[in-house]
């Protein structure tokens, strides 16, 4: 069609304007809730108001302004909680305006520490999580997993900046696959492909899927990479190899071979060296550390699990690691 490109540009302008308008309205709404929460908090702190007064306020709003929705006594208490949660953290209070009220609710109601709240505020802004996605990430212990992990990187990958390292995780959760505990690599690959939207969410939204069984030819031999991705932020091709058995050092040899082929024959000039990711259901930390210590290729070894982790156990491990770190 002659004008198809121009029409697409107009649609893009409309969508961008709608998104900016939504952000502006959302920021003003959260700011309003902040001010109401501050007002109620200060009235209660001076013992001028009690619980019954907040209930009377909710009834008064309902009676005098029936068109105003969302001002039940329960929500008014949430506004107070929002203000009191962030009033001493100006850097976090600014972030609140960047995400929706529903996102804010789930973060300050489910996250117990300032560090955890800051993590999910930043991730929600950066990854543009939907409410369902954010809820799932908190349930999967993303904060604890990111803090505990990222140690099983090759020497080459360890030089990445902290923000870049956060593009990778030590463990991935694929509970959405509904696979049995006993499965083979083909079944795992097929399930990941069929649930690509959820898979990308778990990897990170900067990942773009390039292809499965991605063909490469070296000499007269043909090979295939299980899954190939491109990372927009890092500007790397990422070769992902799947294993359904415990990590073995020899797995890295094949992956490093694929990275060399990608860099020589597939990678574009402006792109950075390709990165290899090996996913296994289990690994011995010491074995992985030895295997990666002299690797000259940018590779990492991560675990995957098919059930949501026990958050209590994750938190215990998280605190144990940081307590031991503090003693050193």
State residue 224's pLDDT score: 96
Q: 266-279 b/e with 16+ CB inside 10 Å = b?
A: bbeeebeebbbbbb
What is the spatial distance between Cα 276 and Cα 255, in angstroms, rounded to a whole number? 6
Quote the tokens at residue 251. 């797995």
Least confident of 6-10, 157-161, 319-323: 319-323
Helices 101-110 and 73-86: crossing angle, nearest 10°? Answer: 70
Query: Could you tell me the pLDDT band of residue 320, with boundaries at 50, 70 and 90?
Result: low
Q: What is the DSSP annotation of 187-250? A: HHHHHHHHTHHHHHHHH-TTEEEEEEEEEEEETTEEEEEEEEEEETTTTEEEEEEE-SS---TT
How many residues does the structure list for the chain? Answer: 328
* CA count, 13 A, side-chain hemisphere, 306: 15
Whether 325 has a pLDDT exceeding 60, the answer reads no
State residue 296's pLDDT score: 80
* Cβ-based neighbours of 139, under 8 Å, separated by 6 or more: 308, 311
What is the spatial distance between Cα 239 and Cα 249, in angstroms, rounded to a whole number? 17
State residue 328's pLDDT score: 46
Whether 150 has a pLDDT exceeding 60, the answer reads no
Q: If you average pLDDT over residues 267-291, what whole number do you get?
A: 92
What value does the mean pLDDT of the chain take? 87
How does pLDDT run across 30-82, given as a tens digit for each residue? 999 999 999 999 999 888 888 789 899 999 999 998 888 889 999 999 999 99
User: Distance from CA of residue 208 to its chain's centroid?
Assistant: 15
Q: If you average pLDDT over residues 158-173, what whole number do you get?
A: 76
What is the spatial distance between Cα 24 and Cα 7, in angstroms, rounded to a whole number? 26
State residue 112's pLDDT score: 86
Query: Could you tell me the pLDDT band of residue 238, with boundaries at 50, 70 and 90?
Result: very high
Q: If you average pLDDT over residues 150-163, what whole number do you get?
A: 69
How does pLDDT run across 135-146, given as a tens digit for each residue? 999 998 888 888
Query: Could you tell me the pLDDT band of residue 284, with boundaries at 50, 70 and 90?
Result: confident
Closest CA to 319 of 143, 126, 79, 144: 144
State residue 155's pLDDT score: 73
Q: What is the DSSP annotation of 253-290? A: HHHHHHHHHIIIII--TTSEEEEEEEEES---HHHHHH
Closest CA to 97 of 25, 42, 37, 17: 25
What is the spatial distance between Cα 219 and Cα 53, in angstroms, rounded to a whole number? 80
Quote the tokens at residue 130. 């939907």
How does pLDDT run across 173-209, given as a tens digit for each residue? 999 999 988 999 999 999 999 999 999 989 988 999 9
What is the spatial distance between Cα 134 and Cα 137, in angstroms, rounded to a whole number? 5
CA 63 to each of CA 36, 55, 60, 67, 72: distance values in angstroms, whole numbers, following the listed order = 18, 12, 5, 10, 12
């Amino acid at each position: 069609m002659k004008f198809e490109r121009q029409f697409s540009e107009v649609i893009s302008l409309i969508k961008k304007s709608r998104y900016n308008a939504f952000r502006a309205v959302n920021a003003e709404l959260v700011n309003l809730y902040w001010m109401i929460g501050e007002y109620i908090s200060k009235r209660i702190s001076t013992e001028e108001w009690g619980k019954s007064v907040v209930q009377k306020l909710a009834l008064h709003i309902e009676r005098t302004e029936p068109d105003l929705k969302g001002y039940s006594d329960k929500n008014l208490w949430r506004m107070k909680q929002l203000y009191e949660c962030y009033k001493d953290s100006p850097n976090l209070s600014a972030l609140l305006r960047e995400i929706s009220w529903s996102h804010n609710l789930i973060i300050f109601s489910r996250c117990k520490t300032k560090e955890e709240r800051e993590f999910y505020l930043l991730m929600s802004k950066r990854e543009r999580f939907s409410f369902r996605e954010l809820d799932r990430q908190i349930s999967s212990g993303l904060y604890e997993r990111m803090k505990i992990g990222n140690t099983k990187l090759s020497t080459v990958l360890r030089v990445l900046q902290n923000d870049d390292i956060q593009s990778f995780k030590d463990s991935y959760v694929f509970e959405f696959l509904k696979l049995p505990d006993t499965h083979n690599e083909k079944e795992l690959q097929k399930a990941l492909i069929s649930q690509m939207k959820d898979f990308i969410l778990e990897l990170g939204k900067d990942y773009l899927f390039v292809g499965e069984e991605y063909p490469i030819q070296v000499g007269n031999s043909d090979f295939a990479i299980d899954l190939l991705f491109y990372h927009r932020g890092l500007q790397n091709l990422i070769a992902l190899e799947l294993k359904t058995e415990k990590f073995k050092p020899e797995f890295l040899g094949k992956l490093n071979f694929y990275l060399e082929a990608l860099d020589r024959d597939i990678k574009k000039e402006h792109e950075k060296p390709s990165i290899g990711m090996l996913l296994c259901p289990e690994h011995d930390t010491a074995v992985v550390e030895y295997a990666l210590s002299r690797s000259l290729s940018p590779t990492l070894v991560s675990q995957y699990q098919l059930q949501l982790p026990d958050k209590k156990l994750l938190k215990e491990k998280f605190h144990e690691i940081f307590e031991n770190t503090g003693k050193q």
